């Protein structure tokens, strides 16, 4: 019992608490807007559709928060997602084992693309924002070359496993993502990620291989983007080389809402995951409130600003109470 209370307290005091609070608030608003407009509570079909549309962003947000915890930023997620969407939509169309082999290849390619970012940033010491802006262009270009016009197809057998439209297989993948993060947090690599983000010079001084940690983090972000690309194709059943672009801002927004510090060293991907789900819900709220989809980005932006202001406000109050410099 005391353990359960401690667990709850850690959840509420933890770095991800902003993400959880925002997710709860958005869910309440979603229920209110939905029932007042449609006259009944959301159905299991609605939950399934939210789950399946939110998965790609959840994955990108995990990768992005890892990068941000090291004090960096990954703009190339848009390019890697686009590439992986294009490759998946043009290759994973058969039956039998082949589609899954192709999926594996897509994941490897995504990881390699991320590792390229990491090598440019850690070894050639290019600022993350510059390096990933450049590779964003490159990866987006490759995506267009693979799939010049929207189209493609995905094997139904793959779709049944990833984002089954009738049973919530997505929950399994979401659960695996959470477990994956918790495991990573408990590896030595996970500790080093925080060390590098908190104070890189000190980390190097005590012998943390900072360059290797960074390469690893960007590679993982690439892997997450590849997963996002696969799930994107699986949900929409087709590919589009421009599919990646929205993920750049929304993944960064998820990380911000999730309470991950842009100074590095603080935060949790769990918060960013909550932020990603909240951001998807906001789009549904806008839809059910009957607001013109043209204004979607306006409202998403407002949501982001308000969420962050609430978060910094809470932090300021806490700091004033502690009375530190």
Partner 1 sequence: MLSSSSLDDEFMAVRATGVDRAFGGVQALRGASFAARPGEIHALAGENGAGKSTLIKVLCGVISADSGTVEIFGQTVRRVVEPGARRRLGVATAFQELSLIPDLTVAENLLLHEPPRNRLGLVRRSQLAATADTILRRYGVDYIDSFAITADLSVAHRQVVELVRVLATEPRVLILDEPTAALPDRQVEWLSTHMRRLRSQGSCVVFTSHRWREIEAFADRVTVFRNGTHVTTRDRISESEAVTLMSGRTFEGAYPDVTTIGRGDSALRVSDLRGGRLAGVSFDLRRGEILGVGGLAGQGQRDLFLTIFGARRPSGGQLSVAGEPVVVRRPRDAINAGIGISYVPEDRKAEGLFLPLSIRDNIALATLSRRSRFGFVDRGQERQAVATIVGRLRIGAGRSPAQAVGNLSGGNQQKVLMARWLLTDAHVLLLYDVTRGVDAATKHDIFELIAELAAQGKAILFYSSETEEIANLCHRVLVLREGRISVELDGPVRDAERIVAASLKEMPDA
Cα–Cα distance, 259 to 248 (Å, whole number): 17
Cα angle vertex 119, ends 117, 121, to 5°? 70
Three-class SS of residue 160? Answer: helix
Cβ atoms of residues 56 and 229 within 8 Å: yes
Nearer to partner 1 by Cβ, of 179 and 305: the residue is 179
Nearer to partner 1 by Cβ, of 119 and 204: the residue is 204
Q: Tell me how far apart the 2 most distant CA atoms of the chain are, in Å.
A: 63
Q: In the bound complex, what is the minimum distance in angstroms from residue 84's beta carbon to partner 1? A: 29
Q: In the bound complex, what is the minimum distance in angstroms from residue 275's beta carbon to partner 1? A: 20
Q: In the bound complex, what is the minimum distance in angstroms from residue 313's beta carbon to partner 1? A: 17
Q: In the bound complex, what is the minimum distance in angstroms from residue 203's beta carbon to partner 1? A: 6
Nearer to partner 1 by Cβ, of 44 and 187: the residue is 187
Nearer to partner 1 by Cβ, of 41 and 320: the residue is 320
CA 238 to chain CA centroid, nearest Å: 21
What is the DSSP-derived secondary structure letter of residue 154? -
Nearer to partner 1 by Cβ, of 11 and 98: the residue is 11
Nearer to partner 1 by Cβ, of 203 and 273: the residue is 203
| 122 to 1, 76, 147, 211, 217: CA distances (angstroms) | 46, 16, 31, 5, 11
Nearer to partner 1 by Cβ, of 94 and 209: the residue is 209
Q: In the bound complex, what is the minimum distance in angstroms from residue 209's beta carbon to partner 1? A: 7
Report the 10 Å Cβ neighbour count for 232.
29
Q: In the bound complex, what is the minimum distance in angstroms from residue 207's beta carbon to partner 1? A: 2
168: part of which helix (H) or strand (E)?
Answer: none
Q: In the bound complex, what is the minimum distance in angstroms from residue 116's beta carbon to partner 1? A: 23
What is the DSSP-derived secondary structure letter of residue 267? -
Q: In the bound complex, what is the minimum distance in angstroms from residue 186's beta carbon to partner 1? A: 4
Phi-psi region of 149 (alpha: psi -120 to 50; beta: other; left: phi over 0): beta
Nearer to partner 1 by Cβ, of 290 and 323: the residue is 323
Which residues contact partner 1 by CB under 8 A? 183, 186-188, 190-192, 194-195, 197-199, 201-209, 265-266, 320, 323-325
HEC profile of 194-259: HHHHHCHHHHHHCCCCHHHHHHHHHHHHHHHHHHHHHHHHHHHCCECCCCCHHHHHHHHHHHHHCC
Nearer to partner 1 by Cβ, of 60 and 121: the residue is 121
Cα–Cα distance, 215 to 66 (Å, whole number): 12
Q: In the bound complex, what is the minimum distance in angstroms from residue 195's beta carbon to partner 1? A: 5
Q: Which residue has the tokens 């993502």?
A: 177
Torsion from C-alpha of 50, 53, 56, 58, nearest 10 degrees: -20
Cα–Cα distance, 63 to 74 (Å, whole number): 9
């Amino acid at each position: 019992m005391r353990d359960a209370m401690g667990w709850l307290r850690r959840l509420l005091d933890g770095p991800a608490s902003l993400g959880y609070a925002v997710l709860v608030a958005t869910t309440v608003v979603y229920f209110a807007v939905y029932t007042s407009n449609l006259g009944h509570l959301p159905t299991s079909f609605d939950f399934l559709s939210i789950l399946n549309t939110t998965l790609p962003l959840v994955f990108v947000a995990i990768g992005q928060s890892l990068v941000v915890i090291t004090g960096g930023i990954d703009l190339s997620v848009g390019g890697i997602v686009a590439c992986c969407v294009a490759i998946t939509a043009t290759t994973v169309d058969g039956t039998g084992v082949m589609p899954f082999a192709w999926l594996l290849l897509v994941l490897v390619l995504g990881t390699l693309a991320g590792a390229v970012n990491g090598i440019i940033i850690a070894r050639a010491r290019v600022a993350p924002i510059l390096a990933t802006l450049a590779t964003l262009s490159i990866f987006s270009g490759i995506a267009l070359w693979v799939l010049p016009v929207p189209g493609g197809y995905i094997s139904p057998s793959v779709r049944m496993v990833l984002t089954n439209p009738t049973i919530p297989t997505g929950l399994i993948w979401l659960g695996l993502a959470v477990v994956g993060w918790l495991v990573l947090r408990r590896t030595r690599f996970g500790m080093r990620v925080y060390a590098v983000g908190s104070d890189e010079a000190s980390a190097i001084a005590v012998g943390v291989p900072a360059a290797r940690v960074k390469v690893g983090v960007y590679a993982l972000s690439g892997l997450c983007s590849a997963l996002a690309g696969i799930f994107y194709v699986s949900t929409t059943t087709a590919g589009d080389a421009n599919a990646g672009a929205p993920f750049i801002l929304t993944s960064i927004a998820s990380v911000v809402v999730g309470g991950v510090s842009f100074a590095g060293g603080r935060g949790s991907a769990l918060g960013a995951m909550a932020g990603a789900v909240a951001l998807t819900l906001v789009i549904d709220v806008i839809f059910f409130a009957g607001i013109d989809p043209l204004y979607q980005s306006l409202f998403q932006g407002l949501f982001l600003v308000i969420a962050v202001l609430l978060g910094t406000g809470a932090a300021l109050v806490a700091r004033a109470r502690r009375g530190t410099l």
